[in-house]
Each structure stands twice: as C-alpha cells, then as structure tokens.
Amino acid sequence: MLGAHLCLWLIPYIHSLWLALLVAPLLVGILGALSETALLRPLYGRDISFQFLPTFGILLILDDAVKLIWRPGYHSLEPPRLWQAPSTSYTRVASWPREAPKRSATIPMCGKPIWEVAWMLEVKGIHTYYGDSHVLQGVSLEVHKGEVVCLLGRNGAGKTTTMKSIIGLVSPRQGTIIFMGEETTGLSPYKMVWRGMDYVLEDRRVFPDLTVEENLEVAHIAARRKGQWTVKGILEVFPMLDRLRHRKAGNLSGGEQQLLVIARALLANPYMLLLDEPCEGLAPIIVEELEKLILEIRQEVTILLAEQNAPFALRVSHRGYVIEKGQIKFQGTREELPSNEEVQSRYLAL
C-alpha cells in the first residue's frame, strides 16, 4: 500500500513510471527498517508479530494525514489522473460528477433570445423502427412557442413512438428533430432535459414510499434549471395535491398520481412539456381537473399532447395532428379537425 502511494507521489517528480516502480520498493524497505529499529523494537521488544498491528494502524492514519496536508483533494470525487508532460495542446480531463451545460437566454446555434423564437420544435420526416418493424414512416410536425399541439390517433397509431423519438428514448434512423434551433436527433433523454424539454410518460412513475410533498421536493432539488416553478407554487396550482401533501404517493389513485407526475415535471422548469396519454384510465372528475390545469399552465410552457381522447385534447389545444399507422394523415386547427367528416369517421371516431 505504501509502495503504491509512493509511486503516485514520485511519478510527477521523476516523470517516469518505470523508474518510480524501481525506486518505490527501495524506499518502502528503508522506511520499514527504520520504523522497526526506531519504533517497533523499543515498544514491543523482539516479539512483534501481533503487537505490530496497532502500530501499523497508527502509521496508516499518519499516512492519510500527510496526504490530506500535502495533496488536498485526494479524497474528492474526482478520479485520479496519471501524470502528463506539459504541453501546449493539453486537454483537461472531465471531472466527476458530470456537470450540466450552462443554460442561457440564447438559443444554441441560431443565437436568438428565447422570447424571439417563434417555434419550439420541428420534426422533419422521421422514420423510427423497433427491430425490423417500421413504426414511424416520415412523421413531420411543428410546435410553436406558447402553443398546445395535440397528436391524435387510435391505440398503436404511433403517438408514443413519436414522443419517444423526440425525447431520445428511441433514435430515428432517418429524419431530423430540431428543438429551439438546435438539431437534437438521437440525443439522450437527459441531454434533452438539460436543454429544457421534459416528458411525462403514460405509466405514472412516482416514488411510492415518499409522500406527495417529498416527491415534489426530490424533483425540485434535482432540477438543474431554476425558474418560476417551486414546490410552494406548484401546490397552489394543484389544490388537490396540496390536500394530499402528507399522503404516500403509492396510496394515491391513478388520477392523483397523474397530477403528481405532471407537477413533478413542471418543477424542472421546462420550456416544453411532452404529455403522453394523460387521460388514460382517469375518472371524469380528474379529467376535468386536468383540463383546467393544462389551460392554466399553457400560458407558461409549450405543450405537445399525445392523446386518444379527442374531445378533451381539442378543448385544450390550439392545433392538432392526426396520426395513423405511423403517418400524419391530417393537420389543422381545433376548429377544423372536428368539422372534417373523413377525419371523424376514419381516424378519430369522435
């Protein structure tokens, strides 16, 4: 152990790993002989087979103390770095834990302030596969800043796959996804979250053993982008959750859990929110509560809503797209979609 420490100490000074491996054992032997002669034999006599252990422990403590004094940061979370000769082309090794990219009020690539960008999301002709199954076949859509856009279709039409392709859970083989002026095709979900997009899945994942308030606190602490949404503000917007703040999330109904996951997503202060089938399996009273909520928060966040419940989706949306068998079949405003008889009969069954 002492030899390994000595090697790490010697490498930056002698600039040679092999020379350090030769010198370190010699130093260990010299230190061992000196410690035995000057310390161990006077303390324990000749029989030091068992009494040596306490002294060895003391030496280890002293060794750590020396390292803390001479090498501050030795016990930090940053991984150890091997010695590198000085160079003008020196590349700094990334530290751990990994930091999120700094956020600013300027959109990457296009260089415009966020409030001057008219659109949030552009999806251009994406083709997504599950194995050999061709699920999305040239899907294209746009979501402008401040809009709620719904993606309507029956079960298996491709709504969830579109959402997963946008957030990065599934990578399209063809096509382009542009979010806030930056191409994000194939980026990992955590990178999309760092850029200001959040995704509420349809399976309502909560921490069942934590209370409602604790679920919100965890989301608030983990948020890398601070903004207007706080735990206190969320509980004011979600009065039902405020009444249930001390109840464990695992004991909530499906509708209450749905409100909780949406509230938790808002605490990340996203620019854009993806909602995947938020009404599935909910009681009518919870659907009404969800409708009021979306109408309130759409003033603050852009929303793309995938939903099979067309009447609900059209009441809260500005525009909509109809998807069937992985292709966009129709698009229009919330007034145009229900007035089209072909869309009603063939795709929506309103």
* pLDDT digits 0-9 by tens, 6-27: 555 555 555 555 565 666 666 6
Banded pLDDT at 84 (limits 50, 70, 90): very low
Rounded-to-10 torsion of CA 122, 337, 298, 225: -20
Banded pLDDT at 109 (limits 50, 70, 90): very low
Kindly tell me if the per-residue pLDDT of 80 is higher than 60. Answer: no
> How far is 141 from 137, CA to CA, in rounded Å?
13
Banded pLDDT at 60 (limits 50, 70, 90): low
- Residue 225's pLDDT is what? 67
3-state DSSP assignment of residue 31: helix
Tokens of 99: 């930091």
- Residue 73's pLDDT is what? 42
Highest mean pLDDT (candidates 27-41, 73-87, 105-119): 27-41
Q: Which CATH number fits domain 114-348: 3.30.450.20, 3.40.50.300, 3.40.190.10, 3.30.70.1070?
A: 3.40.50.300
Banded pLDDT at 147 (limits 50, 70, 90): very high
> How far is 76 from 97, CA to CA, in rounded Å?
10
> How far is 291 from 268, CA to CA, in rounded Å?
21
Calculate mean pLDDT across residues 86-102: 38
- Residue 289's pLDDT is what? 87
Is the model more confident about 67 or about 210?
A: 210
Map out the domains of the chain as residue ranges: 2-70, 114-348
- Residue 9's pLDDT is what? 59
Calculate mean pLDDT across residues 75-86: 39
- Residue 64's pLDDT is what? 55
Calculate mean pLDDT across residues 147-157: 92
3-state DSSP assignment of residue 339: helix
- 113-149 per-residue burial string, b: 16 or more CB within 10 A, e: under 16: eeeebebbbbbbebbbbeeeeebbbebebbbebebbb
- Residue 230's pLDDT is what? 85
> How far is 213 from 238, CA to CA, in rounded Å?
12
- Which range is least confidently modeled, 37-51, 77-91, 212-226? 77-91
Kindly tell me if the per-residue pLDDT of 37 is higher than 80. Answer: no
Is the model more confident about 308 or about 107?
A: 308
* Average pLDDT value over all residues in the chain: 76
Nearest to 310 by CA among 345, 264, 271, 270: 345
Banded pLDDT at 119 (limits 50, 70, 90): confident
- Residue 22's pLDDT is what? 66
* pLDDT digits 0-9 by tens, 231-246: 888 888 888 888 998 9
Residue 210, CB-side half-sphere exposure with 13 Å CA sphere: 13
State if pTM tops 0.85: no
- Residue 281's pLDDT is what? 80
**Regarding beta strands 197-200 and 148-152, do their DSSP bridges make them parallel or antiparallel, or are they unpaired?**
unpaired
Is the model more confident about 89 or about 247?
A: 247
* pLDDT digits 0-9 by tens, 246-294: 999 889 988 889 899 999 999 888 999 999 999 888 888 888 888 988 9
- Residue 238's pLDDT is what? 87
Banded pLDDT at 337 (limits 50, 70, 90): confident
